[in-house]
Structure formats: structure tokens, C-alpha cells
């Protein structure tokens, strides 16, 4: 992709004044550096070869001037080092916040395809390297550009033929650097992909560590990790190989320049066209010319890593959220809870066939509806279309007669409470996890929500009650306890529409009874859509909808569907036989 220079530079805007001061200091420090060899030349050529009676006085004045220059340089370097790094850190923080906020806007379809470890690499490692480029890039290039140009001009006036002889090496060095910069960029890009894969493998394995241990599959996970680790090692070797060619090649050119100066300069001294003081000065300034070339070649890695990091940053930033508020999104005065699917078709990205085709369904306000069917027919997908986790391919989903695409997205999702089979709890305390349902809720409201979810008693039995830490993903709680916390979260949210996605299918009988009681309490007075695997749990539903690959094939009450002796009756009979 083309490098977006304008966008890259835009992140300097909030810090342009301070950064300008940093660059000014870098310019002054570099300019003062060029003065020292001239002072040495003045002492060795003009002072020591002149009137010796006044020489020491001149030497002391030159020494005092050097001390002053050192003091100014140190002050300038302090500003460059401290403020420059601070600006880099602030820009990194801005970029990370912007990228994280953008990721929050991306739909489920994005996360269905992306690996968490890769995304973590982009938001941490890549931006850390990018901040180094933001800070050191302009500052270092100014410093070394000033030194190089200043040294070249001074050398030109000291001895033009010798300066031109040195200059002949520079175009070749430039072409060499450009070629290997491209090679290095490809290697570094590949390197970032590989470390992202390593992170993804680590995240995947550690997140499922209980499953790993339950199957005694530690050797398998080690094998999978070693595979990704070896791929990363291979990419690093390719990077180091490119760096070795690049750095050693440039070093060879630099050494040839030094050899040329020594031989050519010595020849000019022999022919009385150059004196020793000028050769010493020349060699000092050649150091100032060579150092920028050495530093710039070493900076090329930093430059390429930063550029690659920004390109990867922009790859995510350029992904437009496919689900956003419309230009005239509305908020309903109140939500009654009527849900309609009108000729809805849907297919996932990169999926060949439709999950639904021309499906129509109507759920009345306050109605308790169960959705059943075999695995893979799209029960969860259908419910995910209501809060716009996915966008319909064709047709409409309506809430109280309004297309959900015309509703304000936060309003829509705040109107819907979801309790899933796979409960996600955040690392932190019990009260923090319940408060997630409504961040501004008071402690009294949180406790009341917990009581209604039948969670208060077991919470109070924990070591620190509502302030107890529950560990990452709630590992310190049982399945039933976690589920009741998630229900308390929805009680606190108090939405008019409720989606229960197989909320009790993973629980034991005792936990299921407690959770079922909480869910029945939660469903009162709300439009409720239950996705059920255990058909015994939805016998009291006002309407049961049977979903197959052909769409909705049956709907009615439990007893009515059994009498029809159709798909539902077969599903129910099969589950009963298994239970027996």
C-alpha cells in the first residue's frame, strides 16, 4: 500500500510547538558540533604557529568557548532527549487509544476472521516501534543532515579535490541503501506477521488451558507453539541476513572513504598542496560525514519498523465499520418490544449459501417465544440480527415498526438484554461485573439486581462479598454462579427485550434450576426470545418456533406441536429417548 504521508504527519499536530522546539534544539546541537574541529584547526594552525607569547591566552579563551559550547550542547541534548521521548510516548498513547476505539466500532464479522494475538501485536508492539520513529525520525535526520551538509561545505573550502573524491562514493552508497531498504522492509513486515501468530497461539492456548489439561494435551500445545515459534525464528533469520548485507555493505563504503582521504591527503601533503593541520581537520570532519551515514544506515531498521507499524495501523483504521448509525438515526420515545422479520435473507462473508432466505416472523410485545432446531440452522444468527451484530443481506428487521437500521445503535442495543451460554466476565470484582450492565448504577441498585438474579446469597458467602475478585473470565466461580452474575447484569440493565441464548444448557441440574428461576423472573413483562437446546426448558413458552435449513417449518405451543407429529415432535422424542 502507498504510504499515507499526510495522515502520518497529522499526528504531530497537537504537539507541533513543543516538537518544533525539540527540532530547533537538535539543529543547534548539531551546528555547535561542527564548531569544535574549526576551533581545533584554529589552535593548531593559527595560534600555535603564530606569536607564542600570546598563544596561551588565546588557548584559554578557546578552551572557555569550548566549555560554553559543551554546556549549551548538554542543555540542548537534555531537551531533545527528555521532551522528544515524551512527545513520542504521547503520540503512541494517542494512536493506541484511536486504534482501540476504532476496533470497538468494528462488527462481529471482523472478529470472526481476525486472531486476537495479531490484533494485540498491532496495538502494542507495532505502535511502540512507531513511536520511536515519530520521536527519533525527524530529530535524528535533522541532526545528521546538518552535520553532513555542514561538514561537506567546510571540507569543500578546506580542499575541493579531496572533497569531490569523497563525494563520488555517495551516489553508489545511496543506490545500495535504497535497494536493501526494500529487502529489509519485506523482511520486517513478515517478521511482524510471525510474532502476531506467536501471540495468537499463546493467547489461544492459555485461554483454553483448562481444556488442554483436561485432555492431557500439553505436548500438542507445545508442538503447535513450537511450530509458530520456528516460523518466527525463520523470519528473524531472514531479517538479520538482510541487515547483515545492508550494514556490512555500507560499512565497506565508509571504510573506503576513510582510506581514500588518508592516501589522497597524504599525497597532497607530499606535494605541498595540503598542510598537516588541514589534514587533521579534514579527518575530523570526515568523521562527522561518516557518522551520519553510519547512523542513518542503522536508523533504517528503525525507520522501516516504524513505517511497517504505521502501515499495519492504517490497515485496521481503513476498515470502515460495516454497521454504523444511519445519517438520521432515531430514538424511540418508548420500546413496546414488537419484533418483525420481513423477508429476511442473510449470509456470512465468504460463505457460499444463505443462512436464511426470505424468512418472515413476528413477535408481539411481551410475548415469550422459544426458537428450536438442530445445530447449525441459524438460531443464534437470527437473534443476532435484532441488535445488528450482523446486517441482513436482504429484507428488514423491525422494532416497533421501525427498521433497526434506522434506529440509534446504542439505543437499540441498550434496549436488548442478552444472556448467553458462554458467559464472559471481566477480571475484577463482583460488583464491577454486575455494574457493567449500567455503569452509573448505585450500589443499592446492584445489590437489588443480584437478589432478583438469586445471586446475592452466594455473593455474600465470598471472602469479600461484592468486592471479591473473581479472576480472569470469572475462573473462581462455578458455571451457575457466573451465569447468575450475567443475569444480574441484565436485571440492572432492565431492557424491554430479552434474548436467552441456550443460557442453561451447560449447567448441572441444581444450577439449572436456580438459573431457570432467575430467568423466569427476568422475562416477566419483557419480549423474550429463548434459544433452547433442552426442549424440556421451554415447554411453557407461549409460542415455539421450529427452525430448519428450509426456514420456519412449524410454530405453536408445546402440546400443539407434539400433536402435529412433525419436526418438533421428533426432536422432543429423540431428546426424551436420550435422557431415558
pLDDT per residue over 435-491, tens digit each? Answer: 988 899 999 999 998 988 888 988 999 999 999 988 777 777 887 888 888 888 888
Q: Find the mean pLDDT for residues 58-81.
A: 87
CB burial of residue 211 (10 Å; 0-12, 13-18, 19+): exposed
Q: Cα(289)–Cα(284) distance, rounded to whole angstroms?
A: 9
Average pLDDT over residues 273-286: 78
CB 385 within 8 A of CB 395: no
> Is it the case that residue 184 has pLDDT exceeding 80?
no
What per-residue confidence (pLDDT) applies to 362?
94
Measure the CA–CA gap between 250 and 389, rounded to whole angstroms: 54
CATH number attached to the domain at 96-317: 1.20.1560.10
Buried b (16+ CB within 10 A) or exposed e, 214-248: eeeeeeebeeeeeebbebbeebeebbeebbeebbe
507-543 pLDDT, tens per residue? 666 666 777 777 778 888 899 998 887 787 788 889 9
User: Does 580 score more than 50 pLDDT?
Assistant: no
Residue 308 predicted with pLDDT over 70: yes
Q: What confidence score (pLDDT) does residue 20 get?
A: 92
115-142 pLDDT, tens digit per residue, is: 777 788 888 888 888 888 888 888 888 8
pLDDT digits (tens, 9 = 90+) for 23-43: 999 999 988 888 888 877 777
Between 515 and 244, the more confident residue is: 244
Instruction: Give the residue-averaged pLDDT of 292-307.
Output: 72
Across the range 401-415, mean pLDDT stands at 91
Q: Which residues contact 25 (CB under 8 A, 6 or more apart)?
A: 76, 77, 79, 80
Residue 402 has pLDDT above 90, yes or no: yes
User: pTM value?
Assistant: 0.73
pLDDT at 321 over 60: yes
Query: 368-372 and 527-531 as β-strands: parallel, antiparallel, unpaired?
Result: parallel
pLDDT at 579 (0 to 100):
47
Mean pLDDT, range 249-277, rounded to an integer: 80
Q: Percent of the chain beyond pLDDT 70?
A: 92
Please name the fold of domain 339-579.
Rossmann fold (3.40.50)
Span 349-396, pLDDT tens digits: 766 677 888 999 999 999 999 999 888 888 888 999 999 988 999 999
Q: Is the pLDDT of residue 578 over 50?
A: no
Confidence label for 497 from pLDDT (cuts 50, 70 and 90): very high
Consecutive H or E run containing 173: helix 169-207
- 319 pLDDT above the threshold of 80: yes
Q: Where in the chain are the domains?
A: 96-317, 339-579
Evaluate if residue 286 carries a pLDDT over 70: yes
Using the predicted structure, report yes or no on whether residue 577 has a pLDDT greater than 60. no
Amino acid at each position: 500500500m502507498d504510504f499515507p504521508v499526510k495522515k502520518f504527519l497529522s499526528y504531530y499536530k497537537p504537539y507541533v510547538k513543543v516538537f518544533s522546539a525539540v527540532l530547533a534544539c537538535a539543529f543547534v546541537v548539531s551546528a555547535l558540533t561542527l564548531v569544535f574541529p574549526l576551533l581545533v584547526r584554529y589552535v593548531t594552525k593559527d595560534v600555535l604557529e603564530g606569536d607564542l607569547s600570546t598563544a596561551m591566552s588565546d588557548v584559554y579563551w578557546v578552551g572557555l568557548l569550548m566549555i560554553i559550547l559543551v554546556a549549551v550542547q548538554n542543555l540542548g541534548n537534555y531537551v531533545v532527549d527528555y521532551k522528544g521521548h515524551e512527545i513520542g510516548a504521547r503520540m503512541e498513547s494517542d494512536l493506541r487509544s484511536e486504534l482501540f476505539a476504532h476496533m470497538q466500532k468494528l462488527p462481529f464479522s471482523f472478529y470472526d476472521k481476525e486472531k486476537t494475538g495479531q490484533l494485540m501485536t498491532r496495538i502494542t508492539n507495532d505502535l511502540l516501534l512507531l513511536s520511536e520513529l515519530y520521536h527519533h525520525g525527524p530529530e535524528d535526520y535533522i541532526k545528521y543532515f546538518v552535520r553532513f551538509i555542514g561538514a561537506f561545505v567546510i571540507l569543500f573550502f578546506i580542499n575541493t579535490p579531496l572533497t569531490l573524491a569523497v563525494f563520488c562514493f555517495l551516489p553508489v552508497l545511496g543506490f545500495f541503501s535504497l535497494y536493501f531498504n526494500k529487502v529489509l522492509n519485506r523482511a520486517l513486515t513478515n517478521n511482524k506477521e510471525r510474532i502476531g501468530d506467536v501471540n495468537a497461539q499463546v493467547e489461544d492456548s492459555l485461554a483454553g488451558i483448562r481444556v488442554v489439561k483436561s485432555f492431557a494435551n500439553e505436548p500438542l500445545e507445545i508442538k503447535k507453539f513450537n511450530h509458530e515459534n520456528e516460523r518466527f525464528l525463520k523470519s528473524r533469520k531472514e531479517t538479520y541476513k538482510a541487515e547483515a548485507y545492508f550494514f556490512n555493505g555500507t560499512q565497506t563504503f565508509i571504510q573506503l572513504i576513510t582510506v581514500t582521504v588518508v592516501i589522497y591527503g597524504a599525497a597532497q601533503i607530499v606535494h605541498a598542496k595540503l598542510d598537516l593541520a588541514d589534514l587533521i581537520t579534514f579527518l575530523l570532519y570526515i568523521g562527522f560525514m561518516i557518522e551520519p551515514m553510519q547512523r542513518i544506515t542503522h536508523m533504517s531498521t528503525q525507520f522501516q519498523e516504524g513505517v511497517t507499524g504505521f502501515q499495519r495501523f492504517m490497515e485496521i483504521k481503513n476498515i470502515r465499520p460495516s454497521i454504523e448509525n444511519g445519517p438520521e438515526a432515531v430514538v424511540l420515545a418508548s420500546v413496546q418490544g414488537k419484533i418483525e422479520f420481513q423477508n429476511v435473507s442473510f449470509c456470512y462473508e465468504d460463505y457460499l449459501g444463505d443462512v436464511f432466505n426470505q424468512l418472515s416472523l413476528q413477535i408481539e410485545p411481551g410475548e415469550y417465544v422459544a426458537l428450536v432446531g438442530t445445530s447449525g440452522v441459524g438460531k443464534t444468527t437470527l437473534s443476532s440480527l435484532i441488535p445488528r451484530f450482523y446486517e441482513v443481506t436482504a429484507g428488514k428487521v423491525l422494532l416497533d415498526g421501525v427498521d433497526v437500521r434506522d434506529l440509534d445503535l446504542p439505543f437499540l442495543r441498550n434496549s436488548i438484554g442478552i444472556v448467553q451460554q458462554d458467559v464472559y466476565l471481566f477480571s475484577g470484582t463482583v460488583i464491577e461485573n454486575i455494574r457493567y450492565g449500567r455503569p452509573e448504577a448505585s450500589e443499592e441498585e446492584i445489590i437489588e439486581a443480584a437478589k432478583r438474579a438469586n445471586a446475592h446469597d452466594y455473593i455474600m458467602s465470598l471472602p469479600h462479598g461484592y468486592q471479591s475478585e473473581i479472576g480472569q473470565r470469572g475462573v473462581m466461580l462455578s458455571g451457575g454462579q457466573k451465569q447468575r452474575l450475567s443475569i444480574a447484569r441484565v436485571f440492572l440493565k432492565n431492557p424491554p427485550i430479552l434474548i436467552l441464548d441456550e443460557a442453561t444448557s451447560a449447567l448441572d441440574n441444581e444450577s439449572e434450576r436456580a438459573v431457570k428461576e432467575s430467568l423466569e423472573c427476568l422475562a416477566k413483562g419483557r419480549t423474550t426470545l429463548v434459544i433452547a437446546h433442552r426442549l424440556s426448558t421451554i415447554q411453557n413458552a407461549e409460542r415455539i418456533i421450529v427452525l430448519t435449513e428450509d426456514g420456519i417449518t412449524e410454530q405453536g405451543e408445546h402440546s400443539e406441536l407434539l400433536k402435529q407429529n412433525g419436526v418438533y415432535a421428533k426432536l422432543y422424542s429423540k431428546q426424551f429417548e436420550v435422557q431415558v
